[in-house]
Structure 1
Amino acid sequence: MRILALAHNHPGLQPGGTEVVARNLFRAMRDRMPGIEGMFLAAATAALREPHPGTLLQAAPGGRADEALIHLPHFDRFFLSQPDTHGLAATLGAVMETVRPDIIHLHHPLQFGVETLSLLRLLAPSRTRIVVTLHDYFAICPREGQLLRGDGRLCGGPSLDGCRRCVPDRPSADFVLRQLSLRDALSVADALIAPSRFLRDRFVEAGWDAGRIAVLPNAVPDDRPAAPHRAVLPGARRDRFAFLGHINRFKGSLVALAASARLSAEGVPHRLALHGGTAYQPEAFLSEFGAALAAAPAARHHGPYDAPELPRLIAAADWVVVPSIWYENAPLVVLEAFRHRRPVICGDAGGMAELVRDGVDGLHAPIGDAEGWAEVMARAAGEPGLWERLVEGIRAPPDLDAMASAHLDLYRRLLRRGRAMSAPAIAAAA
């Protein structure tokens, strides 16, 4: 089988969750599964890598022959549209001749644009099947795909009036056109994938066909030893918390810091370590983050980290916190925490709450509520036997081989049954 995988960035340039999952999946299939060939093609902009004059293609970080960057400088984030179809057609045509894919897997329409799906269908051999993973809510939410209202409240789903309130500078017609164009563009795909049931259900509630969406969970590598648990004396408190991820407003670092400040004010001993970079964040947020950090004496920001450092960082923690103020989809940090047998405290809705079983392998806290988070963290640090019981409840997350096998099974079903594959058959791959 020959696979062309496309992602809106390369994790060697920006290690976001979607980029990491997309490349890990491709590498697991390409390197570990017999008979799998292909290419991983990642979009790039000049902000992360300067293009070579005269060509859209460039070698990807790491220098692998089966990975490349494609420079796409123009993109409309509202309509998820890529206007440079002429240059893209020529480049993708050459890629298609080289790869001759049986499967094209698009991991996000960002940078590539939804028009690229129709372009790929025209350029690809007739036998080729197209798969799209819905890694977030971009296709149904015009406000950066987060289903988060302008006032910070969670959004139950798109509506014309609600979307206009969130994006007031757009006329009503734009929202209708966006909805129609995205649904029409994604109908070109032979199957859609959601990494969580929660995400699938949000799309179904927005009018998408549930039968076209297979739920295939994400996975994390298991090629490094699990981080040992921190040595403590019998009966000692498990009161060290770790935040791992991008430092931005939506990942909830401000919520975690406010909760930590409350605990310190109440005399609750604990430590909060924040690991993650602040690149590309607006000055207003950075100022707010600095003030929140200064007000939380038990918290420390340790800056960005690389993936190989993760076991060492987790080894110093008893709990991993995921205080995101939006629903999330299937955050990798939860899987990494479970991989290293750390219970997780996360928001009480969305894909993160789907992964973490409250009272079984972690605890739920009210999304965006610092006071509620402080109460849950105080319980986590102080309740005798709770940490041990939750550790025992942790199930090992899927590994990359399992994720690759599940995707290959779906690919093979599509290739066997062709474009007439029924909706129940797609859903049966979940």
Structure 2
Amino acid sequence: MKVIQALARYFPDKCGGIQVNLNELLPKLRTHDIDIQIAAANNGSQKEETYKYNDVEVYRYPVFPTPKTQPNHGQFPHGKFEYFANWLTNQKADIYHQHHWEVYCGLPHLRLAKELGMATVLTVHYAVPICQRITLMFNGQKVCDGKIDVVRCSQCADTLSKKLPAPMVKSLSHFPLDLLSRLPLPTSAYLPASVDDGNLGRFVRPFVVPAYVAARQNSLLKMAKYADRIVTVCDWLYKALLINGIPEEKLILSRHGISYTAQEKSLKTKQQSDPLKVVFLGRWDIYKGIDILVQAVKDLPQQVKIELVIHGITQDERYRQKIFNLIANDPRIRVNKELTRVELPQTLANYDLLAVPSQCLETGPLVVLEAHSLSVPVIGSNLGGIAELVRHGIDGWLVTANDTKAWTQALERLATDTNLLNTLRQGIKPVRTVNLQAADLATIYNNLQKQAEEKKQESF
């Protein structure tokens, strides 16, 4: 069986959890007699490129010129799309599996695969296809159910839209996207949420955001039309797609797994005199909530023994500098280098606690599984995928995401109650592996291929 895995970017480019997980998953899929090829966008390039990465053939299709951010994730094919189309046509693959829903790898790519007669699978890894804000946090403060509503979503994502009457917002949602895509809009018009900085985009947004929201709604219907199966990696995403009209018979919940081998329970125990060693692993991004974590540690009484180490991944340099300014000269907090995948397990195992203070709904994250595989408990935001993976008081501690005081209180308790920390460590169960994830996908692929063969037989 030949399967194409399609993405918006791939190694050796700088990549995130989607690519890391897929890279670890591919060798396991091969044990199920599945031949894999990667197709990934090469933004800004005018030429095709083919190479091998970890013994898997990778085709990089050109995307030129760099397209504008589109709210509908590819309503219109990007420049040089014909290269991807020609390549995919010649592959004669059985299954096409897409992992992104954006302009570089979105609706036109999925639609083409379906038109070529391939069975199609799309994995939704994040809230972007549903949420204009991309966080699924209503007004940036509380969890949203994910139901797309033009008025509600527009007013959530844009400050000035809140001041417009609902009928006007609805009428603006009918603004033709083909015309909208040709307008020379300021970059700030495309932002997930409005920024009150007085620039032109702030005043343009009320006229364009409703159309963006409507486009998201329409693109979900197209996703349901062209994808034979839609895989979600967490329960909240499954429910959000369901509430937006994706047929339940097409939805499958299949969580991520990790490649670490099972670890024996750690015999280490924290002594009362030892400082609580806390680590953060993730991007320098405001939605990762590093500022909440740092402020919580700074607010702890000086007699509370704690060490916070941040291993940040380059992304938002302004936010990184903000954190440095917030840390100031506090000796309990330090920033260390970005870790490689090879360095991560050994480093993580040296800590008492992993902190995941995300301010948005995560679909994983993988780092929770990685911590648990090393018998390291997690203190995390009581949101989304984190709350699905961490059992409060059993193998970790869940905290109200944006409540700095609650984070301070939780950290103080964990730093001073050694019995609690040791109990959490002992409560960690074996984590899901990529072997199990690969078995799930192999079953999906085999069932789709079986259905395709049955349809062929019926046609004769």
Equivalent residue number for residue 81 of structure 1: 74
2:291 is matched with which residue?
A: 254
Aligned to 1:361: 395
Show the counterpart of 2:137. Answer: 148
Q: Tell me: CA distance 1:86–1:249, structure 2 relative to 1, closer, same or farther (3 Å).
A: closer
Asked if the contact 1:131–1:193 (Cα under 8 Å) also holds between the matched residues in 2, the reply is yes
1:389 aligned onto 2:426 = no
* Alignment of 1:102 onto 2:94: yes
Q: Which residue, 112, 123, 130 being the options, matches 1:133?
A: 123
The amino acid of 2:37's aligned partner reads M
The 2-side partners of 1:419 and 1:178 are apart by: 34
**Aligned twin of 2:235:** 197
Distance in 2 between residues matched to 1:227 and 1:253, nearest whole Å: 30
Change (3 A) 1:353 1:379: same
Number of aligned residues: 403
Change (3 A) 1:63 1:17: closer
Provide the rounded CA distance (Å) in 2 between the counterparts of 1:197 and 1:78: 24
Q: Contact 1:8 / 1:19 at 8 angstroms: preserved in 2?
A: no
Contact 1:230 1:318 (8 Å CA) reproduced: no
**Does 2:32 match 1:42?**
no
Q: Which residue of 2 aligns with 1:71?
A: 62
Question: Which has the higher mean CA deviation after the structures are superposed, 163-172 or 396-405?
Answer: 163-172
2: CA distance, partners of 1:411 / 1:305: 35
User: How far does residue 191 in structure 1 lie from its aligned partner after superposition?
Assistant: 0.5
Q: CA deviation at 1:376?
A: 1.0
Counterpart of 2:382 in structure 1 is: 348
- How far off its partner does 1:89 sit? 3.2
Counterpart residue identity of residue 267, structure 1: Q
Normalising by the residue count of structure 2, what TM-score does the alignment of the two structures yield? 0.81
Once the two structures are TM-superposed, the CA of residue 296 in structure 1 deviates from its matched residue by 4.1
**Aligned partner of residue 221 in structure 1, secondary structure:** coil
- Residue type at the aligned position of 1:239: L
Question: Aligned pair in 2 of structure 1 residues 193, 68: CA closer, same or farther (>3 Å)?
Answer: same
Distance apart, 1:212 and its partner CA: 1.9
Deviation at 1:41, TM superposition (A): 1.8
Per-residue CA deviation, residues 17-62 of structure 1 (Å, 9 max, x unaligned), is 12222332233213xx15221202222324xxxx3x5x233436x4
Summarize the alignment of residues 5-404 of structure 1 with structure 2, pairs less than 5 Å apart. 5-30=5-30, 33-46=31-44, 51=45, 55-59=47-51, 62=53, 64=55, 66-72=57-63, 73-81=66-74, 83-84=76-77, 87-97=80-90, 99-110=91-102, 111-122=104-115, 124=116, 126=117, 128-143=118-133, 145-149=134-138, 151-157=140-146, 158-165=148-155, 166-167=157-158, 168=161, 169=205, 170-222=208-260, 226=263, 234-237=271-274, 239-263=276-300, 265-279=301-315, 281=316, 283=318, 285-294=319-328, 296-404=330-438
Aligned-partner SS, 1:409: helix
CA distance in 2, matches of 1:388, 1:233: 7
Helix, strand or coil: the match of 1:377?
Answer: helix
Residue type of the alignment partner of 2:154 = R
Segments of structure 2 that go 5 or more residues without pairing to the other structure are 162-204, 456-460
Q: Is the 8 A contact 2:107 2:222 kept in 1?
A: no
SS at match of 1:308: coil
Query: Which aligned runs of 4 or more in structure 1 are off by greater than 4 angstroms?
Result: 149-153, 225-238
Distance 1:151 1:403, change over 3 A: closer
> Which residue pairs with 1:425 in the alignment?
none
- For the residues of structure 2 that align with 1:78 and 1:56, how far apart are their CA atoms? 26
Of stretches 7-16 and 360-369 in structure 1, the one that deviates more from structure 2 is 7-16
- Residue 218 of structure 1 and its aligned partner are, at CA, apart by 0.2
CA distance in 1 between partners of 2:303 and 2:392 (Å): 26
Cα offset, 1:287, TM superposition: 3.5
Q: Which has the larger Rg?
A: 2
Provide closer, same or farther for how the CA distance between residues 182 and 38 of structure 1 changes in structure 2, counting only shifts above 3 A.
same
What residue is the counterpart of 1:428 in the other structure? none
Q: Is the 8 A contact 1:247 1:277 kept in 2?
A: yes
8 Å contact 1:227–1:312 — kept in the other structure? no
